[in-house]
Structure 1
């Protein structure tokens, strides 16, 4: 059972100046936080990709490479690489380079992403949303398994016996996870391909995902893959503090982010009732003291049989000192109890 921490690099909004916090300061704080994760024994760090004013990181590979130089053991993953609007050759090259820098600690989580800004930014049509991902995933997996690549598709120029360098440390192969939000077709595809699965559970009740995860397990085995090699993770919003006042106050950070995103998606304003409901044992928020968070992760292990839990820990841009304490508690108190 691996315990990890994920981040998107959320930027706090200053109402007085009408501006977001400086992205450079935020990225340097993230690196300080990842260094602490490594020191307290966190297994994985996952860095998200966004192309918006309210997030600091558009290039996870760069942040992960910087993190590789100041850490020793922690695995370094994208969370996620928006593959639909990325070039598979460059994705492999970047993460293979990261793998060499980190001595074999690089991983890729591929997904469609929940925001669409990268499509027009990189010149892709949303009309090709599904086909872009499927085609690029096919190419990325081929590059990952073959040094000399011949491939053809509809939306990208073909490759004819072309080589992709450098190669990753494990015979050129990187761990590539499929990140999903709950679409059965995505889960089926991951199972048939034998890919490790990470499911984002950020709302409602996790138990609602049980049938989906059982479907993945069933189809994974049905496709002929070795059950002993199956890897399954969930990724959920997480925050740890032994101070109830801090936990109560974190509602304001969480609400500000939910309302900012929700404004463009037609969501109703986020309420304290939703927050407390999410914090309950049956809810999807892993927010509370070490005992509460430990119990919920163990509950996920019990109902899903997960091999990895990623706590997404910077929603709403908590202050750096608060984040550092949450990371410390997660690594020194929660992780040992879970394991």
Structure 2
């Protein structure tokens, strides 16, 4: 089942995303409350909409150091405060979810937002949701395949008769509400098998690049396109999700981002125990032109985004501009700069 295609070339899209992480501020030592972080998330969506960005995403995590265990609810709140921006999960951990319930939630969001909802379905790099909802990690890959098949079947047909291994069968099930052409992307961390499977299905692929060279997913993107064409599809679209920060100057961007990014990597980027320690030298290397972090002045971000597009033939970039609890004032300023100074130039250059 292929992603519904629109006529003409797909426009290049730029957006922002958040995990809603609760990170202790490395400067003040304060830990934001869940209520504070939830309200800040909605404000970020509102500002992103006001400055003309195309997409706002919320990630799904099931731990007390995140507030995004129910992205569809946060996105529904954002729908009421925005007018144009697309609203997506980033990602929905489909392996430990019920596809029927996922459809119901995002179809409702689509109606509420007047057609602006999307799903990025993924296996999940964090695995705490599997035991929480009674799933065995030994079934990690098989769970995702079956549940993605069901989610796509729900989109294509109603009522639906279906039978699988991991949930009760459906017999002429009426699954509502309906949402015509609700976009479903597949989140891929770099796995060749995942890229090939996504290409064969004719679905758009959302890559994630946490750290590493800008060219890290070269083979993944090529395998995706090759698999799509061999299956008789034109490759639907490729997105990449990256960390970054937009500052007035290169130095300001790095000075603002580093302590919070490092704190977030230490406190939030782990399954259990201690997270990843990242030195200032390692951070600077990752911020260099050939590496993945999208941090610097507007001019630097424009240059790197164009390099990303040239290398991968991207259709979309989502940037996590405040990972690690960058204070809201600075976070909103980065969103404003990204929307007002970076996005228009990048769109114009790519269109040309």
Q: TM-score range by the shorter chain?
A: over 0.9
Match of 1:240 among 243, 246, 258: 246
Secondary structure at 2:81's aligned position in 1?
coil
Question: Is the 2:266–2:274 Cα contact (8 Å) retained in structure 1?
Answer: no
Match of 2:89 among 71, 74, 78: 78
Deviation at 1:129, TM superposition (A): 1.2
Question: Is the 2:246–2:253 Cα contact (8 Å) retained in structure 1?
Answer: no
Deviation at 1:108, TM superposition (A): 0.1
User: Cα–Cα, structure 1 residues 265 and 219, in superposed 2: closer, same or farther, change >3 Å?
Assistant: farther
Aligned to 1:269: 277
Q: CA deviation digits over 1:18-65, x for unaligned, max 9?
A: 984211111111111111111100000111011112112110000000
Q: Distance in 1 between matches of 2:200 and 2:214?
A: 24
Aligned to 1:22: 33
Question: Is the 1:150–1:161 Cα contact (8 Å) retained in structure 2?
Answer: yes
Give unpaired runs (5+ residues) of structure 2. 1-11, 348-352
Aligned to 2:20: 9
Q: More deviation in 208-217 or 98-107?
A: 208-217
Aligned to 2:194: 186
Are 2:258 and 1:251 equivalent residues in the alignment?
Answer: yes
Output the TM-score relative to the length of structure 1. Answer: 0.94
Q: Distance in 1 between matches of 2:271 and 2:205?
A: 30
Are 2:74 and 1:63 equivalent residues in the alignment?
Answer: yes
Match of 1:104 among 82, 107, 115: 115
Q: Distance in 2 between matches of 1:37 and 1:16?
A: 26
Aligned to 1:203: 211
Aligned to 1:315: 323
Computed over aligned residues only, the root mean square deviation of the Cα atoms, in angstroms, reads 1.8
Secondary structure at 1:329's aligned position in 2?
helix
Secondary structure at 1:206's aligned position in 2?
coil
Number of aligned residue pairs: 334
Q: Distance in 1 between matches of 2:38 and 2:276?
A: 31
Question: Is the 1:203–1:285 Cα contact (8 Å) retained in structure 2?
Answer: yes
Give unpaired runs (5+ residues) of structure 1. none
Q: Distance in 1 between matches of 2:72 and 2:118?
A: 10
User: Cα–Cα, structure 1 residues 164 and 62, in superposed 2: closer, same or farther, change >3 Å?
Assistant: same
Q: Distance in 2 between matches of 1:44 and 1:255?
A: 26
Match of 2:228 among 220, 223, 229: 220
Q: Which runs of 4+ in 1 moved over 4 A?
A: 14-19, 265-268
